Amino acid sequence: MSSAPTPTDPTHAVDADEASAFADLGLRAELLGALSALGYEEPTPIQREAIPPLLAGRDLLGQAATGTGKTAAFALPLLQRMPDDRRGGDPVSLVLVPTRELAVQVSEAFHRYGKDLGARVLPIYGGQPIGRQLRALDMGVDVVVATPGRALDHIARGTLRLGALATVVLDEADEMLDMGFAEDIEAILEHAPAQRQTVLFSATLPARIDGLARKHLTDPQRIQIERERTVAGEAPRVRQSGYIVARGHKPAALGRVLDVESPTAAIVFCRSREEVDRLTETMNGRGYRAEALHGGMSQEQRDRVMGRLRSGTADLLVATDVAARGLDIEQLTHVVNYDVPSAPESYVHRIGRVGRAGREGVAITLAEPREHRMLKTIERVTGQRITIDKIPTVADLRTRRLELTQAALRESLLEDDLDSFRVIVESLSDEFDMVEVALAAVKLAHEAAGPTTEDEEEIPQVAVRAPREGRPEAAGRGDRRGGARPRTGDTTQVFIGLGRRAGVRPQDLVGAITGETGLNGRDIGSIEIADRFSLVEVPVGVADEVITGLRGSTIKGRKATVRRDRDGEGGGERRFEGADRQERRGRDFGGDRRDRR
């Protein structure tokens, strides 16, 4: 920021708001510095509501899904509440999370926010060599982010001591209960000091979560981000679609979707300045005329950007919410959420930029698989459908580009004065067939219109499992199997010595079993695929038939060890305690996933 602030300069107003928005919550300078460096411009609704009570030491029960900014909502107060004098080596905060993936993500977030406070953060989860964790624990840590199974292991060994804990966070508590961690959580909380702050975040609040909260939380502050139900129809009539895409493929997916949509002008919303800058660069590299707009720019720079968009010199505006507030751009045809907005209100606000005054508008949201639930919440709150579409394939793109060329030619035929080119066509027609001449001209026009699809790679489609809102609390097994008849009678688990590393998917196991025995798919119960092995639940009466059948055949072209699971019914749970427990979340299970509690 170079120029001195003037009372009428809105840029400085943005910055002042921004600094105070997080500072108003009572966060200390080191944390404000980290947030500013990350390009966070303002707190998300869950952060605005959760941070003050957490700083005050209150217990909290928060309903918030991934994508709302809930990690920072608890991480920032925990970091702030770390005692300055931390000579002791035992952790003051413990965060329990359902999966290895989340343990890594959450501890990275703690690292980023707590850099200037020198916070020592350690993720511990099954699958990682325990020795490394032992050494780190031994050297002293402030925050441990752990999956319940591995946390309990360390508690039992005496290597994770909970005596100094000031705060325990249960993150994605509903997921943890679904994964069968209820007992582990109870056991861990028993080891924690009675005088402590307990924080529970969950995407859904079924009765079991309420029970957990009643038992372990004291007079909690309750926060639900989805409070204000917007009146259906209040949001503008806009075509709304969503694409589920893995994080790594997002830039390519954005390019592909925009190529197919071919907006006149689009605004792409990002969460932080950092992302705005990165994405602007990427999109320029893809041939778009993209401009960045964020709160870190001077008013003059921002005016210049807006001017370029209005005059058509730029076609893509990549912006943060704060910077784009109050913009009214007539040419805008598309709003793209590069991430799912952190609250439904923000979504409504963003898509309100298009479809104004009867104009046609399109809102596109790119969601990571984990954020699918947030999309559902937005749909519920707005009362409007967001259609989940498939990312266009290379063939779709090719077709679309040809359509655009055809449209351009039609326009030219109808409008342009083509006479000055007549001499070329006439002289070529002596030598070539007219259709051939036209084909060559179309080819040139098509190539000049944009890049070819030759360098394009397919973007993998991601299967999402249906969100579980409204799922019956005590559903029988059959209820979770997509309408399959409920099975009765005893079941047992069959151990198969091939897992994810061998490329095994649930459908391979179902295929092998139904192919080798008289069973049909509905007779097969839960399927769990770990890195090196799989467990399949089958009726006790046919277990031997299944084992013999599988021993005589191959799965994914390989012979596998097949036997009854040694621990028998349900005992196999323990096996997942370490390396593979978290694999049961069904990341790869696609439509055929069967889970169990």
Q: Which residues form the interface with ligand AMP (CB under 6 A)?
A: 40, 43-44, 47, 66-72, 271-272
- How far apart CA 84 and CA 504 sit, in angstroms, is 50
Least Å distance between CB 339 and ligand AMP?
7
**Of the two residues 35 and 543, which places its CB atom closer to ligand AMP in the complex?**
35
Residues 6+ apart with CB under 8 A from 558: 498, 502
Beta carbon nearer to ligand AMP, 203 or 283: 203
Nearest approach, Cβ of residue 343 and ligand AMP (Å): 11
| Least distance between ligand AMP and beta carbon 41 (Å) | 6
- Backbone phi, then psi, for 320, in 5-degree steps? -90, 165
Which one-letter amino acid corresponds to residue 596? Answer: R
In the chain, the amino acid numbered 145 is V
Identify which of residues 67 and 578 has a Cβ nearer to ligand AMP in the complex. 67
**What six digits make up the tokens of 230?**
């917007």
User: At its nearest, how many Å lie between ligand AMP and the CB of residue 35?
Assistant: 7
**Shortest reach from residue 76's CB to ligand AMP, in Å:** 9
Find residue 364's DSSP bridge partners: 241, 336
Interior CA angle at 201 toward 196 and 205, to 5°?
120
Query: Judged by CB, which is closer to ligand AMP: 165, or 343?
Result: 343
Q: How far apart are CA 537 and CA 543, in angstroms?
A: 9
| Beta carbon nearer to ligand AMP, 27 or 189 | 27
| Strands lying side by side in the sheet with 239-244 | 290-293, 316-320, 266-270, 334-337, 362-367, 239-244, 387-389
3: helix, strand or coil: coil
Helix or strand (DSSP H, E) at 259: helix 250-261
Of the pair 20, 452, the CB lying nearest ligand AMP is at 20
Residues 6+ apart with CB under 8 A from 203: 63, 64, 65, 66, 172, 174, 175, 373
| Nearer to ligand AMP (CB atom), residue 110 or residue 495 | 110
Q: Three-state SS for 360?
A: coil
Question: Smaller CB distance to ligand AMP: residue 341 or 506?
Answer: 341
Of 47 and 517, the one with the shorter C-beta distance to ligand AMP is 47
From its phi and psi, is residue 378 left (phi > 0), alpha (psi between -120 and 50) or beta? Answer: alpha
Q: At closest approach, how far in Å is the CB of 67 from ligand AMP?
A: 5
- Closer of 47 and 491 to ligand AMP (Cβ): 47
Q: Which is nearer to ligand AMP, 71 or 405 (CB)?
A: 71
Given its phi and psi angles, is residue 195 left (phi above 0), alpha (psi -120 to 50 degrees) or beta?
A: beta
In the complex, minimum distance from the CB of residue 438 to ligand AMP, in angstroms, rounded to a whole number: 51
CB of 46 to ligand AMP, least distance (A): 8
Q: Which residue has the tokens 């707590």?
A: 114
Locate 561 and state its tokens. 């060890």
Q: What DSSP string runs through 263-324?
A: -SSEEEEESBHHHHHHHHHHHHHTT--EEEE-TTS-HHHHHHHHHHHHHTS--EEEEEHHHH
CA–CA separation, 433 and 437 (whole Å): 6
Question: From the CB of 106, what's the least distance to ligand AMP, in Å?
Answer: 8
User: To the nearest whole angstrom, how small is the minimum distance from the Cβ of residue 341 to ligand AMP?
Assistant: 10
The residues pairing with 201 across neighbouring beta strands, listed in sequence order, are: 62
Minimal distance in Å, beta carbon 539 to ligand AMP?
A: 41
Q: Residue 271 or residue 401: which is nearer to ligand AMP going by CB?
A: 271
Give whole-number Cα distances, 420 to 423, 424, 434, 445, 486, in Å. 7, 9, 17, 17, 76
d(CA 31, CA 397): 45
* CB closer to ligand AMP, 250 vs 302: 250
What counts of helices (H) and strands (E) characterise the chain? 21, 18
| Three-state secondary-structure class, residue 246 | coil
Strand order across the beta sheet in which 491-496 lies: 527-529, 534-539, 491-496, 562-564
